[in-house]
């Protein structure tokens, strides 16, 4: 059983519990449910840097990355750095995140916010909307084609952008459909945790140009981005690189200045 299977199994139990505690009607009454969402896909299309910066305390592959920072400072720092969007991990057990992190980020900045989560139920999309997300992540490795269609269409009905993540050709082929905005290629092999930018390069020409191409994992330097841009990538998700410093906003500022310089 790989880590993704384990996380998904735990997530199913967690979502059942959440559904029993907070009814859909309560989520729909959230003040944030009615606010206008900000499109990450549009931001990426119009950006020179394409950086999506992440708030992540820990991960299964790296254990603790940074527990000392508060989300408000990170969100404000990223916004002033000029990132295109912010990804907020909301999984507690494996990543140390929460929906409250999303709420705090929403109160602290005007960036498009991606709820980074293992989505296996429509209920989580309603949560995302109620807690201030603009974008949701769907992971092809844990969903069937029918689920991808169901969740992406439901997300669009809530005015949420959809980023779909793939790891290989098979996942990509089953996933391509009009209800997606962005296709993300994760460069990390989930069985071995090895990271290779070749994954993004190999899959790039299989992704139709209607979608914004996003590369995820293993992007820790300017060189990686310069290498991927000729392959049509407009978005780059940077997780650990900024978070492992004392001031992620400052790190992101320096990174983007150099990149655009």
pLDDT per position as a tens digit, 11-23: 999 999 999 999 9
- Angstrom distances, CA of residue 218 to CA of 15, 165, 180, 199, 238: 30, 15, 24, 11, 8
Give the chain's radius of gyration (CA, Å): 17
pTM flag (> 0.95)? yes
Predicted confidence (pLDDT) at residue 192 exceeds the cutoff of 90: no
Which residues are part of the catalytic machinery?
54, 56, 116, 165, 186, 216-217
Question: How far does CA 30 lie from the centroid of its chain?
Answer: 22
- pLDDT one-digit tens code per residue, 132-159: 999 999 999 999 999 999 999 999 999 9
């Amino acid at each position: 059983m790989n880590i993704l299977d384990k996380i998904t199994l735990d997530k199913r139990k967690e979502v059942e519990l959440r559904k029993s505690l907070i009814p859909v009607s309560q989520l729909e009454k959230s003040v944030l449910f009615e606010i206008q969402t900000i499109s990450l896909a549009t931001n990426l299309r119009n950006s020179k840097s394409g950086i999506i910066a992440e708030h992540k305390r820990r991960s299964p592959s790296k254990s603790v990355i940074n527990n000392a920072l508060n989300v408000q400072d990170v969100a404000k720092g990223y916004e002033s750095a000029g990132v295109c969007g912010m990804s907020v991990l909301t999984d507690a057990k494996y990543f140390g995140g929460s929906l409250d992190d999303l709420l705090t980020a929403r109160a602290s900045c005007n960036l498009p916010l991606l709820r980074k989560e293992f989505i296996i139920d429509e209920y989580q999309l309603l949560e995302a909307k109620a807690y201030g997300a603009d974008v949701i992540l769907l992971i092809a490795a844990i969903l069937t084609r029918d689920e991808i269609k169901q969740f992406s269409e439901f997300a669009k009905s809530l005015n949420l952008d959809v980023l779909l993540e793939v790891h290989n050709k098979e996942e990509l082929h089953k996933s391509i459909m009009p209800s997606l905005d962005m296709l993300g290629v994760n460069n990390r092999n989930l069985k071995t945790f090895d990271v290779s930018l070749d994954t993004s390069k190999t899959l790039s020409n299989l992704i139709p140009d209607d979608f914004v191409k996003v590369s995820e994992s293993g992007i820790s330097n300017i060189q990686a981005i310069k290498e991927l841009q000729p392959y049509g990538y407009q978005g780059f998700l940077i997780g650990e690189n900024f978070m492992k410093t004392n001031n992620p906003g400052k790190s992101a500022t320096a990174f983007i200045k150099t990149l655009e310089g």
